[in-house]
Structure 1
Amino acid sequence: MRNYMRNTLTIFAASLLLGWFSNGSYATTYEANQKVAESLNSKAQQSDLAYKIAESLTVEIGPRLAGSAEDLLAVDWATAKLQSLGFDKVYKEPVVVPVWQRGSASARVVAPYPQPLVLTALGGSVATPEKGLTANIVRFDNLNALKHANKKNVEGKIVFIDQKTERFKTGAGYGKTVGARVNGAVEAAKLGAVAIVIRSIGTDSDRMPHTGMMRYDDDVTKIPAAALSAPDADQLTAMLARSQDVSIQLTLTPKDLGTMTTYNVIGEFTGATKPDEIVLLGAHLDSWDEGTGAIDDASGVAIVTAAAKLIGELPERPARTIRVVLFAAEEIGMIGGKAYVEQHKAELSKHYIAAESDFGAGPIYRADLRVAPAVFSQAQQLLAPLAHADVEQGDNNARGGSEVSLLPAHGVPVASLRQDGRDYFDYHHTPNDTLDKIDPAALAQNVAVYAQFAYLMAQSSLELRPIK
C-alpha cells in the first residue's frame, strides 16, 4: 500500500506539473528528466561507491583536525580521489586556519569523594597552569542560569553547566544546549570563574566526552574549558547533592600554534549547455581529532562525491555544472565556507541552488527548499521522483546545512535534504565517531536522493530567485 500511494502521488505530481505547460517539447523533456532521475535512484541504491569512499577517508587518513598534518593529507586524498573518479575539473583553493593542538586532559575529584573523571578539552581552549588547578565546583542547570548568577557564588570556582541534550529526529536538542559549549567560558569568566566544565553536548550515555568549538572574548579573561562525559556529569551532580564542597583538580595542555594554509577541494562535472551555472553539493573534509570523523563528515564527503559521479557517468550531461565542494575547517567556525563565499563572490549569481550533507549517514526523509515563493510548488513537483527513495516534500524554509547556510544571504537558493538524526549526537565529536556507525544501505539512499536532486535541478527551467 505504501508503494502504491507513493507511486500514485508521483504520477499525480507529474501530471499536475505537465498541466501547467502547453509546450509539447517541454513535456517530453520533463518526462525524460524524470526517467533519468528514476534510473539514478536505482543505480545509487545498488552501489557501494559511497561506502568505499567513506572507508577510504576514515582508514587511510582518519582524524583530520583543521590545521594538522592529517588535514593536509586529507586535502591530498580528496584531490586524488576526485581525479580518480573522473571529474572534469579538480582544484584547490587556499584557506588560512588557526592551528590548535589538543594535548592531554585529566581531572579528578579531590574531595569529598576522590575519584577520576573522564573529560576532554573543548576546541580552542587555553591550557591550565602546568600543574593544573584545583577549585570547588558550582553547578548550573543551563547557560541562562549562569548568566543570572551572583558573582560572589562563582568567583574563584570551576563552573559546571549540567544541561542534557534531548533526542530528536531533527537534532533540535543540540540547538538548545550548544550555547553552553560555545559561550560558557566567557560568561563564567565574567563572574570570576577559574575554569568551566560542561556536560557533553550529546544524547548518549557512554563514557566518551564530546568535544566541539568554543569561543572567547578578547575583553574577557580566557579560562580553560572542557566537556565531561554524560556519566561523569551525572556522578558530579550526585556528589553535589550530598555536599556543596566538591572540589576537582583539572589539567588541560592544549596549545595555540598560530596559523597555516589548508584548502577547499573542488571537483566539477561540466554542464552541457549552461556550464557557467552551478548546482553545488557540499560537505566538509575536516573532522575533530577524537574519532575518525566517519559520520562527521566522511559520510557527507562520500554522499555528495558519489552522487556527482553518478551524474558524470550519464550518457548525456545535464545542462548545468555539478560542483562538489569539500570545505576546509568547518568544525572550527565554517572558515572554509566563509573563504568560498569571498573567493566566489563574482559568480554567486550563477549558483542555481546548493545543498550540503553534514548530519551523519541516517536516511533522508524530507526535502526542504528555499526558493522564490512563486515557484516553490513547481520546484516541489520537479522533485517528485524523490518519493521513490521515500522522501517527502517539505517547506520553503531550508538553511542548506553548515557552510551552504552562508549562501542565502547572497541570494543563492538552497535545499535541506533532511536526515534522520536520532542517533547522530550519540557519536558526534567523540572517539565513537567511527566507520561502523555508517549503515551502507542508508548511505546509498542518501546518494540516490542527492543524485536525483542535483540532476533535476541541473536540468530545471524554473527561475528560483529571488528567494525570500
Structure 2
Amino acid sequence: MTRLSDTVVGETYRSSVGWELLAELEDINNRMPGQDGEHNAATLVAEAFEEVGLNDVTFTEFPIPGWWRGEAALAVEHGDRKTTFRRSHELVELPGTPSGDVSGELVDMGYGLPEDFEDVDLSGCVVMASSLTPDEYGRWVHRSEKYHYAAENGAVGFVFCNHIEGALPPTGSIGVTNGPGPIPAVGVSREVGARLKRYCKNGSVEVSLDVACENGRTTSRNIEAVVGPETDEEVLYTAHVDGHDVGTAANDNGFGTALVVEVGRILAQLEDDLETRVRLIVFGAEETGLYGSYYWTHTHDLDSVKCIVNMDGAGYSRNLEIHTHGFETIGETFEAVEAEYDIPIKIEEGLRPHSDHWPFVQQGVAGVQGRSSAKESGRGWGHTHGDTLDKLDVRDLRDLSILCAAGVARLAESSIETPHVSATEIKQDSIEQRFDAGMKATYTWPWGEQRDWPWKDQL
C-alpha cells in the first residue's frame, strides 16, 4: 500500500506553495477563457509545477469561441415610472450572450424547470428564471437549460435571477459549442429579482434589455506535468484554471488549481513508491464549455487513462465529497482513505455532467468529481463578484491536499483496477437520472450528432 509518511503529512501543514499560487491567481483579476489573464495564469501554473519537482511540464494550445464583456442595462416600466438597472451589483451579462437590444413583456418562469415551459408560448417575451433548483427535484437544472427552453419557446431575452442574497448577480455561460447563444441574456441579483417579481404581481410589465459585447475566436491552454514511473496507464488528477471575470474566481476554480499543485508536490516526494504514472492537468476554458477537457479527450488515447479525479468546487469547506458516477472502485479507494485518517469523506454515486471529468466519463472512462460541501443550495459565492480569496481557508487546502494525495497514490497502485465501462452504460445512466432532457436542450447530449468543435479541422 502506498501511504503518505507522517513526515510528508506534517510538512504539508507547513506548505504555502498552493496558497501562494491561489493568491497570485486572484491578483490576475480576470481569467476568462481565451483572454490574457487565463494565459498568464497558465504560465503561473507551469512555474508552480516545476517548483514542486514535477516532470515534463507542457502547454497545449487549442482554439475556442471567445467572449468579451461590454455593458448591459435592463429598463423596466412599472406604473408611471421607469427604472433602469445597469450597475455591476445589479446585473451582469452572461458569457456567450449575443449583443442585442430587445423589448417585451417580462414573464417570471419561477424555477425554470422543464415542465414549467411545456406548452407555453413566450413569443416576444423576456423570460426570468431563478438560479435555484429545488432539492426535491432530483437533479440540478443548469442555467443554460433554462435559457434554451426560453429561446425555443419564442423568448427574445433572458434574465437569470440569483437566489443568494447580497447584491450578487450571477454569471455563467449560455453559449453553444461553436459560438454565442440565440438571445441576449443577463444575470441579476436576488434583490433586483425580488423587485422584478413584485412588479410582475401588479400586472403586465414591459422591459427593455440592451446588451453590448464581443464574440469572436481565440485560444486557450492546458498545462500538464507528470510524476512517477513510465507506465502504459496513467492516473489523472485535474482541475481548471479559468474563471469568470466578475469576481476573481478564487474558489471556482483557483482553489482546485492550487490543489493540483499541492497534490503534485506531495506525490513528487513519493515518486519512487508510485506504481503507476500520475498526470497532473490543469485545463483551460472549462467555464464556457469544457473545451480543455474535450480537446484532451479528442486528441489522446483514452485507453491510457486508468482513471481521472477532477477537482471543481472544492473550496467551500474541508469536507471532501467524491461523486463516483457509479465507478465503485474509486469510491472504495477513498473510503479506505477515510478509514486511514479517521476523517469523513462523503461518497455520492450519481452523475455530475458539468465539469472536466465529464468528457472522460461519457466515454466510459472511470472518473469522479471531487468537491467539498457547501452550506447552502447552489454554488454560493461562485460565479459572482463575491468569489474572492478572503472566503477561503488555507487549512481546508491543506486537509484536502492530504486526502486527495492519499487517494490518488492508492489509485496508482497496480493492484487496484478501475475498469472502464461502455459509453452505452453511461448513456443509460444519464437517461435514468433525467439528464438527457437538459443536455439535449443545451445541445450537449454526446450521443447525438457530432458537435461542431472549434478544432474539428485539426482532428
Amino acid of the structure 1 residue aligned with 2:114? N
Deviation at 1:114, TM superposition (A): 2.9
Amino acid of the structure 1 residue aligned with 2:387? D
Q: Which residue does the alignment assign to 2:221?
A: 263
Determine the C-alpha separation between the residues in 2 that align with 1:216 and 1:343: 21
Q: Which residue does the alignment assign to 2:155?
A: 193
Determine the C-alpha separation between the residues in 2 that align with 1:100 and 1:116: 25
Of 204, 219, 241, which residue of structure 2 is paired with 1:245? Answer: 204
Amino acid of the structure 1 residue aligned with 2:98? V
Q: Which residue does the alignment assign to 2:432?
A: none
Answer yes or no: is the 8 Å Cα contact 1:45–1:448 preserved in 2.
no
Q: Which residue does the alignment assign to 2:39?
A: 72
Determine the C-alpha separation between the residues in 1 that align with 2:148 and 2:353: 29
SS at match of 1:450: helix
From the superposition, tell whether residues 205 and 251 of structure 1 become closer, same or farther in structure 2 (CA, over 3 Å): same
Q: Which residue does the alignment assign to 1:84?
A: 51
Deviation string, structure 1 residues 281-329 (Cα, Å, up to 9, x no partner): 1000111111111001000000111111111024734122221101011
Determine the C-alpha separation between the residues in 2 that align with 1:336 and 1:174: 29
Amino acid of the structure 2 residue aligned with 1:265? I
Find out whether 1:144 has 2:119 as its counterpart. no
Of 440, 443, 448, which residue of structure 1 is paired with 2:394? Answer: 440
Answer yes or no: is the 8 Å Cα contact 2:30–2:245 preserved in 1.
yes
Which 10-residue stretch deviates more, 396-405 or 229-238? 396-405
Q: Which residue does the alignment assign to 2:286?
A: 330
Find out whether 1:119 has 2:91 as its counterpart. yes
Find out whether 1:422 has 2:375 as its counterpart. yes
Answer yes or no: is the 8 Å Cα contact 1:366–1:391 preserved in 2.
no
Amino acid of the structure 2 residue aligned with 1:464? T
Of 168, 172, 176, which residue of structure 1 is paired with 2:140? Answer: 176
Which 10-residue stretch deviates more, 96-105 or 77-86? 77-86
Answer yes or no: is the 8 Å Cα contact 2:223–2:282 preserved in 1.
yes
Deviation string, structure 1 residues 229-279 (Cα, Å, up to 9, x no partner): 1111111111111x222222322101112x2222111011132xx534312
Deviation at 1:143, TM superposition (A): 4.0
Amino acid of the structure 2 residue aligned with 1:440? V
Deviation at 1:40, TM superposition (A): 4.0
Of 147, 169, 183, which residue of structure 2 is paired with 1:209? Answer: 169
Determine the C-alpha separation between the residues in 2 that align with 1:197 and 1:378: 42
Q: 1:322-401 residue pairs with structure 2 within 5 A?
A: 322-345=278-301, 348-361=302-315, 362-367=317-322, 369=324, 379=333, 382-384=336-338, 387-388=341-342, 390-392=343-345, 394=347
Deviation string, structure 1 residues 82-124 (Cα, Å, up to 9, x no partner): 2233211100112211111111112232332433332111111
Q: Which residue does the alignment assign to 1:453?
A: 407
Find out whether 1:407 has 2:360 as its counterpart. yes
Determine the C-alpha separation between the residues in 1 that align with 2:138 and 2:8: 34
Find out whether 1:286 has 2:242 as its counterpart. yes
Aligned alpha-carbon RMSD (Å): 3.0
Determine the C-alpha separation between the residues in 2 that align with 1:363 and 1:461: 29
Answer yes or no: is the 8 Å Cα contact 1:376–1:396 preserved in 2.
no
Amino acid of the structure 1 residue aligned with 2:368? A
Query: Can you give the 5+ residue segments of structure 2 that lack an aligned partner in the other structure?
Result: 426-459
Query: Can you give the 5+ residue segments of structure 1 that lack an aligned partner in the other structure?
Result: 1-29
Q: Which residue does the alignment assign to 2:129?
A: 161
Determine the C-alpha separation between the residues in 1 that align with 2:277 and 2:47: 20
Which structure 1 residue ranges, 4+ long, deviate > 6 Å from structure 2? Answer: none
From the superposition, tell whether residues 84 and 41 of structure 1 become closer, same or farther in structure 2 (CA, over 3 Å): closer
Q: Which residue does the alignment assign to 1:228?
A: 188
TM norm structure 2? 0.81
Answer yes or no: is the 8 Å Cα contact 1:186–1:215 preserved in 2.
no
SS at match of 2:64: strand
Deviation string, structure 1 residues 117-170 (Cα, Å, up to 9, x no partner): 3211111111123xxx4432122222435522542xx3322222246345x7xx
